Amino acid sequence: MKYIFSVLFTIILIYGCSTSNWLARNSGADTDWIVFKWYGDSIDGRYFPNLSIDLPLKIDGIDKQFNAQFDLGANVSMVYGNSFAPFFQLYPELNNQVDTTKTGWINSVKYPYLRTKFSLGSYKVKNYGLVLYKNFGEVLSIEDAKKYDDISIGTIGSDIFQNKVLVIDYPHSRLKILDSLPQNIQKNVLYEDCRFDDEGKILIPISVNGKKNNLLFDTGSSMFDLVTTSEQWKMITDQEKITDSLSVIAWGKNKKLYGSAINVPIVIAGKNISGKIAYMDSDENQRIYFARNNIFGITGNSLFLQETIIIDYRDKKFGILKR
């Protein structure tokens, strides 16, 4: 906090820094911030400290704290069947909560819901269960299920944020879910109109060579500023000069992504990313999804690590909080 040298400066500080004060508060009424953790790991011999975001997940009736990946590129929130299997044995009453009359789609396959209440930190999620993603995830023994806390058990997707305002405070590693943003904060947000795909995932504006398009904002994609199809990638880079390649696993599938420097003007949320590395994903299912929803590509966390972003699912806006 800066020192206050005059009454005038005091007034400026109080009214001009209300945004900073709101973000700085961490007690009392603001204990509903959900603190997240970055998961880091090595890929192709390189360590990435911000590979994915883990949220604290508590499922009613289970005396254990879990982790779930925060992934707005997933249309439903879920528990992984292989990892969650021991808890059906440890807590037999959970078997009665599997509801096959309500289903969620994952990778074009229909799965049942686990009709249970759950919380993210102190925030209680209302009117939602978790899709039971069968035969997916790391197999967990009963002994390990008893022994360990903070087990990675699932994914938190975009479904629970519908008709809400989501605040992601990257510098302080936390997020907040609101019905509406305080007016004094609202005026300090640089908004752009956005839209949503047919599954409720957010699509933000991108300008490529002055032409407007849409970009999937995916918090499950932390490593890349931009990923696009091979056709689009060739239009925005010198494909003869591949500067990077990475082998990644996405939803159980192995992928090889190739990167090259962007050589045309590209602007995302007011950020000019010309000169940054764009990656090519040749996955055919992703190409079809992009074409169906008129999407240029995907961006994720890496562009916004120094920002606080606001996603207004009700009024279809994406914004960055002024610093």
For the segment 169-216, what is each residue's pLDDT rounded down to a tens digit? 999 999 999 999 999 999 999 999 999 998 889 999 999 999 999 999
CB atoms closer than 10 angstroms to residue 65: 13
Residue 41 lies in a domain: yes
Give the tokens for residue 268.
């995302």
Please check whether residues 174 and 118 belong to one and the same domain. Answer: no
Write the pLDDT tens digit of every residue in 85-94: 999 999 999 9
pTM check: above 0.85: yes
Structural domain for 190, as ranges: 166-321
Query: Are 256 and 284 contained in the same domain?
Result: yes
* Exposure b/e, 236-249, CB count within 10 A at least 16 = b: bbeeeeeeeebebe
CATH at residue 208: 2.40.70.10
Instruction: Name the percent of the chain lying above pLDDT 90.
Output: 76
In this predicted model, what pLDDT tens digit does every residue of 297-314 receive, in sequence order? Answer: 999 999 999 999 999 999
Cβ atoms of 268 and 204 within 8 Å: the answer is yes
Cβ atoms 185, 18 nearer than 8 A: yes
Within a domain: residue 7? Answer: no
Domain end (from 161, 193, 212) = 161
Length of the chain equals 323
* DSSP run (H or E) holding 67: strand 66-70
Which tokens sit at 295? 């999407």
14 located within any domain: no
Question: Do 35 and 56 touch, CB atoms closer than 8 A?
Answer: yes
C-alpha 88/C-alpha 150 separation (Å) is 18
Question: Both 197 and 58 in a single domain?
Answer: no
